Amino acid sequence: MSRIVLEPSSTAQWYKLVNEAEATCQLPLNHELESYLVFLLMRHTQKPSITSNIMAMEYLQSLTANGQLKQENLRDVGDQCLIFSGLFPKIAEKRMVKVSYYVNIGVSAYHVLAETCKAQLNEFYHLLADNFVHLMDILHVIRKMNRSIDDLSTIEALELWGETGSKVALQAVQSETDANICLDTSSFKH
């Protein structure tokens, strides 16, 4: 029986969970990305309605908006795609799309957002886009920490690794198949 250790605040609890996931998948994040992921989780896990959003429509609507609204909408699209791809990959299966659909839209949203922001935020959103798969992997590990949730099948994990370069998906394939797959990430666009 596992024991539950509660931290003094919900923020501390999320940080602890993210830190454990980082250590488990051996993907340490810099402080900015780690903080962003924690606050993203705090912000979006209280919104169960995000699972009903159609991301391609949200993304296209974001592109037609202007100014601050465009930036907020693009950030929300990127964030929601990260949540979907990392915590709710089975939603993709139910919608008959691949998890990489959410990865591609999320990465694109963060890159477009970066181009609409001032210099410091520009760099940060490019950093988010460039590390999208790492952040997704950390969310996959967090998801796996709840053993009652179905994990991706071996085929789904192989497909996710092949399309995004996800290290966590590769580890899942290797553990299920005893496969020795050479990791060459130079062919991945993310």
Q: What is the pLDDT of residue 190?
A: 47
Phi-psi region of 28 (alpha: psi -120 to 50; beta: other; left: phi over 0): beta
- Residue 2's pLDDT is what? 45
- Please answer whether residues 157 and 100 qualify as being in contact, where contact means their C-beta atoms are separated by less than 8 angstroms: no
CB under 8 Å to 21, separation ≥6 — which residues?
A: 138, 139, 141, 142, 145
Do 9 and 122 meet the contact criterion of CB atoms below 8 Å apart? no
Amino acid 185: pLDDT: 47
- Residue ranges of the alpha helices (H) in 45-189? 55-64, 67-87, 89-94, 99-116, 119-130, 132-145, 154-164, 167-177
pLDDT computed for residue 1 by the predictor? 40
Average pLDDT of each block of 10 consecutive residues along the chain (190 residues)? 56 89 91 94 73 78 91 93 90 86 95 89 94 95 74 81 86 74 49
Residue extents of the structural domains in the chain? 10-150
Looking at residue 3, what is its pLDDT?
Answer: 45
Residue 38's pLDDT is: 94
Position 91 scores a pLDDT of 83
**pLDDT of amino acid 7:** 57
